[in-house]
Structure 1
Amino acid sequence: MKDIKHQMHIDELMGVIREYDEQSLNERAERYAFLLSLENGKENTMFHGEIAHLAFFAAGNAYINAHFIGSVVLAQVVIEHTLNQIFFAIGEDMTRESFPNLIRKAEEKEWITNEEHEAFSILKDIRNPYVHFRNPLNKHTLLKRTLDSGKEQYEILEEDAKHAITAMYKLINKTTF
């Protein structure tokens, strides 16, 4: 008896999922096209570590499916793990360094440009209030940014995710360090 009830419940849930899929298909396709526009055309992207590799695909999937906060957090995971792996490979242990110090040192080594450093710093500023509680009226919170800009929260979240994904691709598309 339990299996029949369970299957009925699964069938109902599948209907809900199908309806969501149909309603969100165009937006997801547009976000997927945006991701593809960021690729540099290489088939063999080099990932520096398994976490960076897994987080890269998870960030893309999160973005496509409008899980924008997840894509922001995962994009920084990719950047941080990638840079740390490269430092580790040359014998420099940066694992206890803050993200700002990590990207500053990467710029000093000319692994990233000033423009990339700035994009990564902005990503950190975007990510922090999602990960760490802030006074709701702190200038970096989603609430305050929504109030100040007059934009919908969804629009700000999507803009944040676009910035994060673009910053991530700037690093992943590099061929040498």
Structure 2
Amino acid sequence: MDKLEACVEALRRADLRTISQRADRMLAMSSYIEGGSFYGVDEPLVLMEDARVSYINGCFVAALISAMSSIEHMLLYEINFQGITYFEPKKSDSISNTLELLRLKTIGDEDLLEELGRLNSIRNAYVHPKGELHPFRRVNRAQAAGVAPSVISKQDAESAINAMYKVFDLTMKLGDLSEFK
């Protein structure tokens, strides 16, 4: 057996071991997605797809980071589309500044904004070094919950993807697709 055949065989065995877990995650994803055609700016859409595929394949941290990046793009594009580009002296160029602005400007989505703030703090703990006892570090949250850190990563990804599709639904622009025929 050459190297390529050995790799294909190893992938086949790995696929068989994880297929039902991936199928379960694929079904879980379907509860967030509503049918329909849509179009938009490339980056948020490709990040949404990366989040979905990463989650299905068990790459939970990648799913969380992709989902939060997609959310940041969608929110920044939306506030710029609305003509809101500056918040006091700070430019709305990050999710933190954007969430602060939206808390002042919107009514009715306070729970979602709170969840996005929580998820941003979780994302930051994954991508920026934090002190050993930082409350948003995965290992500290796992210890407090009495579960394995991998359980926390999966929960983080699920929450971020759920929020991503909520933001997408709120910012989605439907259009006449007849021009693409």
Q: Check if 1:73 corresponds to 2:65.
A: yes
Which of 3, 13, 20 aligns to 1:19? It is 13
Rounded to whole Å, the distance in 2 between the matches of 1:56 and 1:32 is 14
Q: 1:98-138: per-residue Cα shift (whole Å, max 9, x none)? A: 32220232344438711110111111121111000112332
Which of 33, 47, 66 aligns to 2:27? It is 33
Which of 93, 100, 111 aligns to 2:96? It is 100
Specify every segment of 5 or more residues in structure 2 that has no aligned partner in the other structure, as ranges.
Answer: 174-181
Which of 136, 140, 144 aligns to 1:140? It is 136
Which of 140, 148, 151 aligns to 1:152? It is 148
Rounded to whole Å, the distance in 2 between the matches of 1:173 and 1:131 is 27
Q: SS where residue 174 of structure 1 aligns?
A: helix
Which position in structure 1 is the counterpart of 2:77? 85
Q: Is the contact made by 1:38 and 1:169 (CA closer than 8 Å) also made in structure 2?
A: yes
Q: How many residue pairs align between the two structures?
A: 169
RMSD: 2.2
User: What TM-score results when the alignment is normalised by the length of structure 2?
Assistant: 0.84
Rounded to whole Å, the distance in 1 between the matches of 2:50 and 2:134 is 29
Deviates more, 1:27-36 or 1:134-143: 134-143
Give the drift of 1:150.
1.7
Q: Is the contact made by 2:76 and 2:92 (CA closer than 8 Å) also made in structure 1?
A: no
Change (3 A) 1:81 1:103: same
Which of 56, 59, 63 aligns to 1:64? It is 56
Specify every segment of 5 or more residues in structure 1 that has no aligned partner in the other structure, as ranges.
Answer: 1-6
Deviates more, 1:149-158 or 1:106-115: 106-115
Runs of 4+ residues over 4 Å off in structure 1: none
User: What TM-score results when the alignment is normalised by the length of structure 1?
Assistant: 0.85
Which of 136, 139, 162 aligns to 1:166? It is 162
Rounded to whole Å, the distance in 2 between the matches of 1:141 and 1:163 is 16
Aligned sequence identity (%)? 25
